[in-house]
Every structure is written in C-alpha cells, then in structure tokens.
Amino acid sequence: MNYFTTETPFIIAGPCSAETEEQMINVASQLKDAPICMMRAGVWKPRTKPGGFEGMGEKALPWLQTAKAIHGKPICIEVATPEQIELALRYNIDCIWIGARSTVSPFIIQELADALRGVKIPLLIKNPINPDIDLWQGAIERFANAGMQDIGAIHRGFSSYDKNSKYRNKPNWTIPIELKRRMPELPIICDPSHITGRRDLIAHVSQRAMDLHFDGLMIETHPSPDDAWSDAKQQVTPNILKKILSELKIKNGSVTDLNAQLQIEDIRQMVDSLDAELVDIISRRMQLMKKLGGIKAENNISVFQPERWREIIENRTKQGIPLALNEEFILKLFEVLHDKSIKVQLDVLKEK
C-alpha cells in the first residue's frame, strides 16, 4: 500500500515557512490534538522576485525535529536541489515534496530524481505552475523510474493571467481527475491554501476536493497568520484548521445501498448510450469539415472565417441557455470543436 493511502483523508498541515524555533514549537503544540497525519513547513522558499523572505534554510531543520518531538507526527518539507535533498536526509526529514516551479522543468526533475535514486523516502510532487498534465505525469514517472515507490501528487492549482479570478491559482479540476484516470493507484492530495490564496475559501475548496474523492489535503496553518513572513493571506489558525477538518463531509468511494446502486447503473447505461450518439455526431461533423475543407481549397478560401465563428457562438449560446447550459460551458465546448474543425480543414488543404 502507498504511504499516502489511508482509510481516512491524509491531512498535512503546518506553516508556510518555518520562521523561528518558538513559532514551530507553538504551532506543533496547537496541532497536537488535530486529526492530521503529517506536519509541513517551508525551509527553502523560492520567491517570484528577489528580496523577499526565502526561508531560514538549514538553520530551521533542527526546529522541525523539535516540533516532531512535540507533535509526534512525521515532518515534510520542500526541496529543489540535490544539496537540499542531502540536508533533508541528514536531518532525518520524514517526507519531501517537489514544488510547482521545479516540476515545470524536466531537467530539474531528472537531477532531483537522480539524487534520490536508491533512497526510500515518501515523496509528493506538486503540479507544474502551467496546466500541463503530461509535464506533471512525466515528473512522477521520472521519480518512479529512479526507484521511488511511495509517491503522491499534490494539486495546488495553475497560474493564470485572469486577474478577476477569485482564486490565486485556478483549480482546473479536470486535470487532476485526468491524472487519476491515467494513474489510478496514485494518491492525489489537494492544496487549498495555494489554490485559493485566501483563507475564507479554504473550507469550500477542501470540501470540493473531498467531493471529488481526493486522497487528502495540505493546508497551511500559522499561530498568527496575519504576522506570517510569507503567504499570510492563505494561512489559518490551528483552531480554524481544526474547525475546517471537523466539518468536512467525507464521501464514500463505493455504493453499498442496493437501490442506489441499481439507480446509478441505470443512469450510467443511459449516459453510455448518449455518449455513443455524441461520438457518432462528432464523427459526422468532422466528415462534413473535410468536405468543407475541400471546397475551400478548390476555391482559394481561407479556412478560418471570423464572421462564421461569431455566428456559431452567438447561436449555440442562445440555444443552450433555455436548456440550462451556461455560456461559459457552451463557449468551451465549441472552442474545442472549432479548433478540431480548423485542423481537419488544414489537413485537407495540405493534401491539395
């Protein structure tokens, strides 16, 4: 069984950064009776711009062992270089995680994987900052190829240029769900603190992760969040953390009620039938795109027609609203179809 696979959600909690020994003793004492499986703290903090607090480094590592002695739970930290891995192992850190800025580079990941070759330590890998599932999966596979066995993934959301989003990093839930489909045995832990960037949304995102049957949560907690040296807005007090965890509604992964099971199976059969029709319709649509591409090629007409694209979006949106399909969903759906239609027509053009 994987280290991070437990009967109840695997909960990791602790401050964004290990700031002082007193702070770590304080938070460890307050978390002693909390239902958490592991304590976290940032020792090396990669910041976007120079000049900010970048962690206490090696000096903080003994503080974590003091906290562990008080709390009694394993300790987890982020590492980003082979030298940091060496120090983590020297100070008997129980678990390490790879951050989003590291996961984005296969060169860095391979260097870290080589440094961990032959080492038996639980490892968590955060998604890259950009929404690239192959990059995330590739990082996991590099560590697995190095012999790492107890591997889990952390979903911490994805960077976006959308300044109007309520999230610091958009969750894009379909990406971790697809990763789980590709790697069913991989535990996936959600990081609501980094997704939200604000403490008032942490409970909501935590529950959403449980509803989606994630394997656990990583939540940042600080004795005095507003005074934190890093990421103050996304940390909660230990008491608030306990309240969030106590109010979580944990969904079962399987159905035990026979009547519910029969209803679910009946609905699934209808969905399968509709999906088969949908696939057939999409296939026929693409065949029409091939014919359209041929006509455009023969008449020297450009493949992309902006006016036609605007007409499609306006009409399909109007058709969807009375059917309880919101504009955003319709737009995303037809963007995918339109993108594929353009590619099909371009392929025909190449053949002419």
What is the Cα–Cα distance from 119 to 271, expressed in whole angstroms? 46
CATH for 258-351?
1.20.59.10
What is the Cα–Cα distance from 127 to 113, expressed in whole angstroms? 16
Q: In this predicted structure, what is the pLDDT of residue 263?
A: 85
Query: What is the helix (H) or strand (E) element at residue 348, kind and residue range?
Result: helix 327-351
- Phi and psi at residue 64, in whole multiples of 5°? -70, -35
Residues 6 or more apart in contact with residue 19 via CB below 8 angstroms: 56, 228, 229
- Domain ranges in the chain are 10-246, 258-351
Q: In this predicted structure, what is the pLDDT of residue 259?
A: 77
How does pLDDT run across 244-299, given as a tens digit for each residue?
999 999 877 665 667 777 788 889 889 989 999 999 999 999 999 999 999 999 99
How does pLDDT run across 117-130, given as a tens digit for each residue?
999 999 999 999 99
3-state secondary structure at position 190? strand
Mean pLDDT for the chain overall: 94
Residues 6 or more apart in contact with residue 148 via CB below 8 angstroms: 113, 116, 119, 121, 123
Assign 34 a pLDDT band (cuts: 50, 70, 90): very high
Assign 331 a pLDDT band (cuts: 50, 70, 90): very high
CATH for 10-246?
3.20.20.70
Residue 182 pLDDT greater than 80, yes or no: yes
Residue 141 to residues 79, 145, 152, Cα–Cα distance (Å): 18, 6, 11
Instruction: Give the least confident one: 131-140, 245-254, 331-340.
Output: 245-254
Question: Is the pLDDT higher at 78 or at 257?
Answer: 78
Residues 6 or more apart in contact with residue 205 via CB below 8 angstroms: 171, 190, 192, 195, 196
Q: In this predicted structure, what is the pLDDT of residue 219?
A: 98
| Beta carbons of 288 and 345 less than 8 angstroms apart | no
